[in-house]
């Protein structure tokens, strides 16, 4: 199985170039259209849904190996940097990570954050995060 991470927002985002070597890509990696539709319906409140990843979803936990934790922290920081270009103060975007095919299942954790202090957050599978700018 694959861990997929999705972003929901109320603005349309450009997809990452396929040859990009950025730490985070916005586009389709593991998911199909119906996975993203399910995330939109069951997890998000926003209009647009994208998969965000590079080989693996966002997974920050004491139970995750240090390499995946470090890469996931870089991904969430990069995602916030990208979204700063598209959102005004007070607007938000949503992040949801789950195992591919579990997009309709009940959330196990919810977070609302205003800053990107990734050392103080835990994002595991079935975790919903609302990031307010």
pLDDT digits (tens, 9 = 90+) for 38-77: 999 999 999 999 999 767 788 888 888 888 888 888 888 8
pLDDT digits (tens, 9 = 90+) for 67-95: 888 888 888 888 989 999 999 999 999 99
Split at pLDDT 50, 70, 90, the class of 116 is low
In a 3-state reduction of DSSP, which class is residue 81?
Answer: helix
Among residues 98, 14, 8, 20, which one has the least CA distance to residue 50?
8
Q: Is the distance from CB of 39 to CB of 103 less than 8 angstroms?
A: yes
């Amino acid at each position: 199985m694959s861990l997929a991470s999705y972003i929901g927002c109320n603005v349309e985002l450009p997809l990452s170039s396929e040859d990009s070597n950025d730490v985070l890509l916005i586009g389709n990696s593991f998911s199909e259209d119906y996975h993203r539709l399910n995330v939109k319906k069951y997890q998000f409140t926003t209009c647009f849904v994208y998969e965000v990843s590079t080989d693996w979803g966002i997974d920050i936990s004491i139970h995750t190996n240090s390499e995946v934790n470090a890469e996931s922290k870089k991904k969430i920081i990069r995602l916030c940097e990208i979204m700063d270009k598209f959102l005004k103060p007070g607007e938000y975007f949503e992040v949801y990570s789950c195992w591919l095919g579990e997009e309709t299942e009940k959330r196990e954790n919810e977070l609302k954050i205003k800053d990107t202090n990734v050392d103080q957050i835990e994002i595991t599978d079935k975790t919903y995060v609302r990031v307010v700018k």
